[in-house]
Amino acid sequence: EAGVTQFPSHSVIEKGQTVTLRCDPISGHDNLYWYRRVMGKEIKFLLHFVKESKQDESGMPNNRFLAERTGGTYSTLKVQPAELEDSGVYFCASSAGLATLSLYGYTFGSGTRLTVV
Amino acid sequence: EDKVVQSPLSLVVHEGDTVTLNCSYEVTNFRSLLWYKQEKKAPTFLFMLTSSGIEKKSGRLSSILDKKELFSILNITATQTGDSAVYLCACNYGGATNKLIFGTGTLLAVQP
């Protein structure tokens, strides 16, 4: 079974530019999460999709961040315009639902390391 | 404010040693606690604990949850260099989202 795929793995952009991160969850996983780890801090929740619907976006820092999940498959997270404090590692995770959590947990991708200079 | 605290922040041991990693939490609507191992890239799932006092075991790793004292431990016996990683503890706090709140992790280095 293919895992959660994220790309790019690294992105370096200038302040004010736009960046789009992509996440391909495990096929059939309705639940998709975005998390972010800022240097020296813990991993923090950004938002949760169930299929194509945003279930919870309480962790999104501000309106410069826009997440979409068209068709309930892959998701994109756009940062526009990027600021220095947006630097960090952005993780995506997926799950099939509560029934499988105890066996498999949430499956994480390898993350996208975003550096804003 | 909800929080998950892991200790120690880092430790160095020698192969063959036994280590205990700690995770305490203060989380409203607590549902479960998860342990992950992160080497270079993606965190990989180890255990999910929902009930107090029931040990989960996988090879040399085991974990237990105490919902009265609000903590969990992760034990690794007969450590190997391949156990070197950051170990992450996270709490699933319920509701429709099932989002995770993470601790900062424990960096374990196992020396030959």
**pLDDT tens digits, one per residue of B46-97:** 999 999 999 999 999 999 999 999 999 999 999 999 999 999 999 998 677 7
Q: Where are the alpha helices (DSSP H) in A1-117?
A: 98-104
User: Residue B102 and residue A107: Cβ atoms within 8 Å?
Assistant: no
Q: Which amino acid is at A83?
A: E
B107 close to B8: Cβ distance less than 8 angstroms: no
> What are the tens digits of pLDDT across the range B33-51?
999 999 988 999 999 999 9
Show residues of chain A in contact with B98, CB under 8 Å: 31, 48, 95, 98, 101
> What are the tens digits of pLDDT across the range A50-106?
999 999 999 999 999 999 998 889 999 999 999 999 999 999 999 988 778 878 889
B99 close to A56: Cβ distance less than 8 angstroms: yes
Residue B37 has a pLDDT of 98
A35 close to A49: Cβ distance less than 8 angstroms: no
Residue A99 has a pLDDT of 76
| CA pair distance A110, B103, nearest whole angstrom | 18
What is the chain B residue with the closest CA to A101? B48
A27 close to A2: Cβ distance less than 8 angstroms: yes
| CA pair distance B75, B107, nearest whole angstrom | 14
Using the CB atoms, write b or e for B14-52: b if 16+ within 10 Å: eeeeebebebbbebeebebbbbbbbeeebbebbbbbbee
What is the chain A residue with the closest CA to B104? A42
Structure token digits, residue A60:
């999104």
